[in-house]
Structure 1
Amino acid sequence: MLIDHRTYVCRPGTIKLHLALYEKTGFEVQSKHLGQPLLYAGTETGDPNSYVHIWVYDSAADRAEKRKALQADPAWADYLKQSRDAGYLVSQQNKLLVPVDFAPKPITADRPG
């Protein structure tokens, strides 16, 4: 199992605009290729201009295959162009995580609890 933890930071005052754009033009196409995220959340403490989303993959190869299909989708390219043109995002940080053996695995649609 591979967990892709992503943190994005928006320009102050634009996070709601950015998330509305993603909801309208990005979420459906991304979910079509990657499946449903484990988590998509705004921050309650810390930087109020940031949000996190977490995706779960079977392996690095599974992630690479799904992300390649996503990148090839014209609808995703359109979303990325709209996001770039809007200029809401300031930074992005990705962390690829592997669960330790003794901890419970995340519950997802593919991995019921």
Structure 2
Amino acid sequence: MFVDLRTYTMVPGRLNAYLELYEREGLPIQQRHLGNLLGYFVTETGELNQVVHLWGYASAADRDARRSAMEKDPDWIAYRRKSAEAGNVQHQSNKLLRPTRFSPI
């Protein structure tokens, strides 16, 4: 399994607005395309106003295929436009993690 670790830093004061829009509109689309949500978190200490989410994939190629299909989905395109217009996200980063042979996942 490969894990896509994504960290989004929100504009201060916009975290709840992001989460409400995402849960209502973005999450159902991503679950339909990406499937394996491992976790969705908000930071309590350290750098605040962050959302960290982890998605599991069979391989890097599986990730690429699933994300490519999602990027073509008109529902996802509309959600991304709405999310961008809301101006909640200040910065995004992601890492594709490959497990070690002794990793439990």
Q: Which secondary structure does the structure 2 equivalent of 1:48 belong to? A: coil
The one-letter amino acid paired with 1:54 is L
Q: Which residue of 1 aligns with 2:46?
A: 46
Q: Which residue of 1 aligns with 2:86?
A: 86
RMSD of aligned residue pairs (Cα, Å): 0.8
Q: Which residue of 2 aligns with 1:72?
A: 72
Question: How many residues align structurally?
Answer: 105
Give the TM-score taking structure 2 as reference length.
0.96
| Distance (Å, rounded) in 1 between the aligned partners of 2:78 and 2:30 | 12
| Distance (Å, rounded) in 2 between the aligned partners of 1:87 and 1:103 | 37
| Distance (Å, rounded) in 2 between the aligned partners of 1:103 and 1:17 | 35
Tell me which stretches of 4 or more aligned residues in structure 1 moved more than 2 Å: none
| Structure 1 residue 36, shift from structure 2 partner | 3.5
| Distance (Å, rounded) in 1 between the aligned partners of 2:55 and 2:26 | 15
Percent identical: 47
Q: Which secondary structure does the structure 2 equivalent of 1:61 belong to? A: helix
| Structure 1 residue 26, shift from structure 2 partner | 0.4
**2:9, 2:51 within 8 Å by CA — same for their partners in 1?**
yes
| Distance (Å, rounded) in 1 between the aligned partners of 2:103 and 2:24 | 36
| Distance (Å, rounded) in 2 between the aligned partners of 1:36 and 1:99 | 16
Q: Which secondary structure does the structure 1 equivalent of 2:31 belong to? A: helix
Q: Which secondary structure does the structure 2 equivalent of 1:45 belong to? A: coil
Counting only pairs closer than 5 Å after superposition, residues 93-112 of structure 1 correspond to structure 2 as 93-105=93-105
Q: Which residue of 1 aligns with 2:34?
A: 34
Q: Which secondary structure does the structure 2 equivalent of 1:104 belong to? A: coil
Give the TM-score taking structure 1 as reference length.
0.90
The one-letter amino acid paired with 1:95 is K
| Distance (Å, rounded) in 2 between the aligned partners of 1:102 and 1:21 | 37
**2:4, 2:95 within 8 Å by CA — same for their partners in 1?**
yes
Q: Which runs of 5+ in 2 are unaligned?
A: none
